[in-house]
Structure 1
Amino acid sequence: MHGFRNDTDDPTSFLILYTPGIARVKFFAEIADLANGGRTLQGHARTALYARHDQVMVDD
């Protein structure tokens, strides 16, 4: 298990490389579409997004 977090108020970015590539592109594309549209997901919609992409979120 691993995670990423920005512990400051400053904006940050990071680059993720998968070698060999795995099917994560669709997950990040869907997240980008949401962010670019100013939308967020809550409840069942968020759970469904994670399930579609085999993503597990870990609380702080």
Structure 2
Amino acid sequence: MWVDTRKGDFLHVPQGGLHAFRNDSDAPADMLLLLTPGAPREEYFEQVSQLAHASEEERAAFFDKHDSYFVE
């Protein structure tokens, strides 16, 4: 199930819940994420931008390390 949100909305994803996010507009978007406990996930968001120039093997290792799995 997809949930569309608007500015000011709040969305709770329980631990282990499948989720994703994207911006379908042509305008920039900001979002605030609150992760608890935050420490294990902090490194993911600090390093994910470095994947732009990573190989497929490096990407796979990164996502595996951070328990991130893609589903269709």
- Per the normalisation by structure 1, the TM-score is 0.70
- Structure 1 runs of 4+ with >3 Å offset: none
RMSD, aligned CA: 1.9
Size of the aligned set, in residue pairs, is: 54
| Superposition map of 1:41-56 within 5 A | 41-56=54-69
Largest Rg, 1 or 2: 2
Unaligned ranges ≥5, structure 1: none
| Superposition map of 1:9-48 within 5 A | 9-21=26-38, 23-32=40-49, 34=50, 40=52, 41-48=54-61
Unaligned ranges ≥5, structure 2: 1-17
Between the aligned residues of both structures, percent identity stands at 35
- Structure with the greater relative contact order (CA < 8 A, sep ≥ 6): 1 or 2? 1
- Per the normalisation by structure 2, the TM-score is 0.60
